[in-house]
Structure 1
């Protein structure tokens, strides 16, 4: 695992190279915290497939393609990073590694490429963090998600 500390500037620059901008963290839409810290673990609540005014909503296999799903998972991961920044007051230097992602994919019963959708977030994590972005994960297909999100992803990070 690389030991060089991360910075908001480095993460922002890497995201820009990949075609993304770090957004303002989304406010919770119900009675929960956007993140919780316990010891060296930072847990980020599920983030939806929306970025600013745009988003990917609906179901994979019913009007949404695999490519739409991959993009939706990428948007979720960018939103996770925004919450990490908020939780750490912008001090990404405290971030040690991504431990786990949990993904929920709204899809029809016939859709079976959930893992390929989730690779959108997993591949982006590695592209941003290198080896520190490699993680455990769970991917689950569901009939619907809050606010009609196509994808929702939660994350767990190790912090200093």
Structure 2
């Protein structure tokens, strides 16, 4: 792992888990040239899946915390794609975040900030990225958030 990224994660009290295994008939990431496309990672914390609907069961702060768990899994997948060596990570290119939310909920960007803020804190300027934050009527297993990413590696 890159010493700089490792130090930042340690300072944040974060230990990257093993990259989560896929839950269906897909692979966790695909590398095309120097880009790694990481499949959507669902909100899953130390106590299990983070489920619920923003605007009904969960606050924006709950959603942002759920989004951070997705970002941790995305970074774990990027580490796996780099053969365990995050010094190969050039930058985060894009995040696409899906928020399980009610029809009148409009704070999807604030929820996905939980992932964006984590990536910038962990990766510095290399964590700044393009992004989409989209509402979804439901998500797999009832999770609150799902996020996919594109990373550039060397």
- Measured against the shorter chain, the TM-score band is over 0.9
Among 116, 120, 141, the residue aligned to 2:114? 120
Aligned to 1:155: 149
Aligned pairs for 1:133-144 (under 5 A) are 133-144=127-138
What is the root-mean-square deviation of aligned Cα atoms in Å?
1.3
Task: Using the TM superposition, give the Cα deviation of residue 16 of structure 1 relative to its aligned residue in structure 2, in angstroms.
Answer: 3.0
Query: Is residue 2:57 matched to residue 1:72?
Result: no
Instruction: Report the count of equivalent residues.
Output: 154
Cα shift readout 1:63-121 (whole Å, capped 9, x = no counterpart)? 11111000011000000011111111111111100000000000011211000001111
Deviates more, 1:70-79 or 1:10-19: 10-19
Task: Using the TM superposition, give the Cα deviation of residue 52 of structure 1 relative to its aligned residue in structure 2, in angstroms.
Answer: 4.2
Distance 1:136 1:114 in 2: 15
Unaligned runs of 5+ residues in structure 1 are 1-5
Aligned pairs for 1:6-155 (under 5 A) are 7=2, 9-155=3-149
Task: Using the TM superposition, give the Cα deviation of residue 12 of structure 1 relative to its aligned residue in structure 2, in angstroms.
Answer: 3.6
Unaligned runs of 5+ residues in structure 2 are none
Q: Which aligned runs of 4 or more in structure 1 are off by greater than 6 angstroms? A: none
TM-score by length of 1: 0.91
Task: Using the TM superposition, give the Cα deviation of residue 148 of structure 1 relative to its aligned residue in structure 2, in angstroms.
Answer: 1.2
Distance 1:54 1:10 in 2: 29
Q: Contact (CA 8 Å) 2:45, 2:66: kept in 1 or not? A: no
TM-score by length of 2: 0.94
